[in-house]
Amino acid sequence: MSPGPGPDSVPVFNALNALNAERIKLTTLRSLWTTPLLSFVLTAGGTTAVAAALGGKDRTITDDPGVGVFYGLNFGQAALACFAILLIGQEFNTRMIDVSLTAVPRRGRLYGAKLTLGALVGLGVGAAGTAGSFAGYAATVPGAWDGPDFARSATAGVLYPVLLVVFCLGVTALLGNLTAAMGLLVPVVFLLSPLLGGVPGVRRVVQFLPDRAGQYALHYADDPQVSYGHWTGLLIMALWTGAAAYGGLLALRRAK
């Protein structure tokens, strides 16, 4: 009779195993892999359509090329936020998080795998969306690829989706509920904050929200009503993202 499997024969579910498990979830669940694709289509397609329709008529998208190039991001970021929320939120609502924690008992490792996968997807969408947006805009409006601010705007365009995904993941983990995260992040942060940004008395506060600060780094021109520089805007968003990610980790560790 052959001996049964001993403790040493049990595979170690290390960080790479956890990341690979999250990758499998991503590629097999339609709700997960379609939302990043939708984000890219809305970002690049929205910019191309608006530039083609209004490129010679609307100076708001031509005076500052950064505004025109990333016009479609106003739509694409909502889909990307939904992806981040679904990546962990649906496990909370279906209690599949218990199964995940059984497979990966170290909660920090499971959470880190989700953050890593989300950041990689955000990086891919950011790179593709930025390239597609610049190409679509430049096809109608010349000058998008010129000037000293191009490199900064393009870099911010690649990094903004990464920070956005990690921020939304952290907030969702902090709330521990998909519905609550959808109700807070999508309508309030990504729809209400642009409207409040136009209110004079409120704008001084709204400009420090993560999406407002991060999107300022996309602009070519300076805004005298903004209290910080373009790179500082991206830094402000990164601080929000770090705080959200850390808060989500603490909440996941304390959850029963």
Give me the tens of pLDDT residue by residue for the chain, a chain 256 residues long. Answer: 444 444 443 344 588 888 988 898 888 888 889 999 999 999 999 999 988 887 667 676 778 888 889 999 999 999 999 999 999 998 988 888 888 888 888 888 999 999 999 999 999 999 999 999 999 998 888 767 777 789 999 999 999 999 999 999 999 999 999 999 999 998 877 777 777 777 777 888 889 999 999 999 999 989 888 999 999 999 999 999 999 999 999 999 987 6
Predicted pLDDT of residue 186:
83
Q: Residue 192 region, left (φ>0) first, then alpha (ψ -120 to 50), else beta? A: alpha
Looking from the CA of 208 toward its CB, the CA atoms found within 13 Å total: 5
Q: What pLDDT shows up at residue 82? A: 94
CA end-to-end span of the chain: 42
Q: Is the pTM of this model over 0.85?
A: yes
| Contact assessment for residue 74 and residue 194, using Cβ atoms and an 8 Å cutoff | yes
Residue 56's pLDDT is: 65
Confidence at residue 93, expressed as pLDDT on a 0 to 100 scale: 86
Given phi > 0 = left and psi -120 to 50 = alpha, else beta, which region is 208? alpha
The residue assigned the tokens 């083609």 is: 52
| The pair of three-digit structure tokens given for residue 198, joined into one six-digit string | 């136009």
Nearby residues of 231 by Cβ (< 8 Å), 6 or more positions away = 152, 217
Neighbours of 40 (CB within 10 A): 22
The CA angle 175-244-192, to the nearest 5 degrees, is 75
DSSP category for residue 139? T
- The single-letter DSSP state of residue 11 is P
- Whether the CB-CB separation of 81 and 185 falls below 8 Å is answered with yes
Composition of the chain by helix, strand, coil, percent to 5: 75, 0, 25
State residue 158's pLDDT score.
Answer: 97
Q: Rounded distance, CA 24 to CA 197, Å?
A: 40
Q: Tokens 């290390």, residue?
A: 14
